[in-house]
A and B are shown apart, each in its own frame.
Chain A
Amino acid sequence: MLLILCPYCQSRRAELEFRNVGAAHISRPSDPQTTTDAQWGEFLYQRDNPKGRIAERWLHIHGCGRYFNAIRDTISDVFVTTYKSGEPPPAMPSEAKP
């Protein structure tokens, strides 16, 4: 079972308190009139599904009840970080090379 740090509660809690709600940073097309089938398909169904770091959303359903984002490694399941909704994904140490 994962231990997850809720960025609102600032507390590391058992996975049982949380609901995973899929990939993060996906935005709904803003103008349905001009959105093509391919764009809808991309928004609704296509996913990165990476073997490595994933940006995903969690809901602290049995805690504060709020959504937040996380970066996790899908091979080790270790969380790199969690951050509040609306915040941009943090620059990762590996990406922050000089």
Chain B
Amino acid sequence: MKFSLISLLKEGLTGNRGWPRQWRDPAPKAAYDVVIVGGGGHGLATAYYLAKEHGIRNVAVLEKGWLGGGNTGRNTTVVRSNYLWEESERLYEHAMKLWETLSDDLNYNVMYSPRGVLMLAHSIHDVQVGKRHVHANRLAGIDNEWLSREEVLDFCPILNPATDIRYPIAGGALQRRGGTARHDAVAWGYARGADRFGVDIIQNCEVKGIIRDASGKVIGVETTRGYIGAGKVGVVAAGHTSVVMGMAGVRMPLESYPLQALVSEPIKPIMPCVLMSNAIHAYMSQSDKGELVIGAGTDQYVSYSQTGGLQIAQATIEAICELFPMTRRLRMLRNWGGIVDVTPDRSPIIGKTPVEGLYVNCGWGTGGFKATPGSGHVFAATIAKGEPHPIAAPFTLERFTTGRLIDEAAAAAVAH
């Protein structure tokens, strides 16, 4: 069923009882041309573009839990493309362009909201780095502009204007096309879109083994719902990528860390944009429900615990209270964690692996939600053609042997 003004009106007047299932719940077939491991946004987008742009429709997405139950449903939804290096600029801007038309393309409202992402500077060094970023982005044709201290306070008046604090505001870089999108809607929209092309979305199906023939080529996967044959396998398992790739004997340059976020009780609109400060490791935006959405940092150790230490959230709250004094008496409603897969250079890995027929898309770490459409798009092309998409080409696994890293400080640690 297509969503339209007419269908909305009709359902609205008849108690919303006529909406059908948005995607099927099929039993796995014996074999598929392509099996995608991981039903997060990136995996679902990959399946969607495989079907839509490459005509490969005999595809299954296998998800061990429920759709978007991984980092896709746990992130703070910040979308931006103001990365530093040309390779990253191309990749994240490719995604940004797709965000702009995604709701139309999917006929599903992903609530992309280009409300602006403002990255604060607190010192002369921050100002220099921030301006360098602005210049680099503009040379690449990506919007980013420098705001003076006064302009920053004007743009987001709830910021602390004091100059006698540890991190006073010195200016900021504003990407106006940056903003947020609704994370669940992204997973659901891609799932629905892929399903309509015939892709089987199979939940509660954990991949337990990757099966190879005598020549080493991938021929299928062992799952909790039995063996499923596969011409090609694409692993898009975020924090669990090392575990899944280990099933094919491939070691990865990844470490998995818990990353936390929290939301406050809902209040009236108080801020016009996403605000982030790399120096004090905190960022905040306001959801449509009115909750303040606050991102914290990662724990310092490898863990799959999906919670994270309380002191990490506390440090973030302290920073938020200093940056936005008016938030001091707000209550926090929820705090949660996800497991993020971090690469040594903080850039993702998209492409082929040493195993024939096995492809991987991972290493998005603390900041891959923004890239979801672009990531799926270039990964689908890479799987379909057996050759890296030009935008994905620099992000190979081999760069950790050749040393051609894409050291993306703009993706570092906390900022999204």
Q: Could you tell me which A residues sit within 8 Å of B by CB distance?
A: 1-2, 15-16, 19-20, 22, 37-38, 40-42, 44-51, 54, 56, 72, 74-77
Contacts and interface: CB of A to CB of B under 8 A. Distances in A.
Contacts of B344: 44-45
Contacts of B242: 47-51
A40 to B, nearest CB: 8
A6 B223 CA distance: 42
Contacts of B305: 74-77
Contact of B302 (A19, A40, A41, A74): A74
A19 B299 CA distance: 11
A15 B402 CA distance: 36
Most A CB atoms within 10 A — which of B253, B300, B301, B304? B301
Contacts, number: 69
Interface in B242-265: 242-243, 251-256
5 contacts: A1-B309, A1-B310, A37-B401, A41-B253, A42-B251
Contact of B255 (A1, A2, A16, A49): A49
Nearest to B343: A45
B310 A19 contact: no
A2 B309 contact: yes
A61 to B, nearest CB: 11
A45 B400 CA distance: 7
Contacts of B254: 47, 49
B302 A54 contact: yes
A58 B45 CA distance: 39
Given A1-B310, A44-B344, A49 B256 contact: yes
A19 B243 contact: no
B240 interface: yes
Interface residues of B, number: 23
B58 interface: no
B301 A47 contact: no
B401 A38 contact: yes
Contacts of A45: 253, 344, 400
Given A46-B253, A51-B240, A77-B303, A41 B400 contact: yes
A17 B256 CA distance: 22
A14 to B, nearest CB: 9
Most A CB atoms within 10 A — which of B252, B254, B305, B401? B401
B340 to A, nearest CB: 12
Contacts of A75: 303-305
Contacts of B255: 22, 47, 49
A24 B303 CA distance: 15
B215 interface: no
Interface in B186-234: none
A47 B401 CA distance: 14
A37 B254 CA distance: 18
Contacts of A72: 301
A19 to B, nearest CB: 7
A74 B400 contact: no
Given A22-B255, A74-B302, 17 more contacts: A1-B309, A1-B311, A16-B311, A37-B403, A40-B401, A41-B253, A42-B251, A44-B344, A46-B252, A46-B253, A46-B400, A49-B242, A51-B243, A56-B302, A74-B256, A74-B305, A75-B304
A85 B82 CA distance: 43
Contact of A49 (B252, B310, B403): B252
Contacts of A40: 401, 403
Interchain residue pairs A-B with the least CB separation, the first 7: A45-B253, A49-B242, A41-B401, A20-B300, A45-B400, A20-B301, A46-B251
A51 B240 CA distance: 8
Contacts of B402: 37
A19 B300 CA distance: 8
A35 to B, nearest CB: 12
Given A37-B401, A38-B401, A15 B309 contact: yes
Given A1-B311, A16-B311, A37-B402, A51 B252 contact: no
Contacts of A54: 302
Contacts of B401: 37-38, 40-41
Nearest to A37: B401
B307 to A, nearest CB: 9
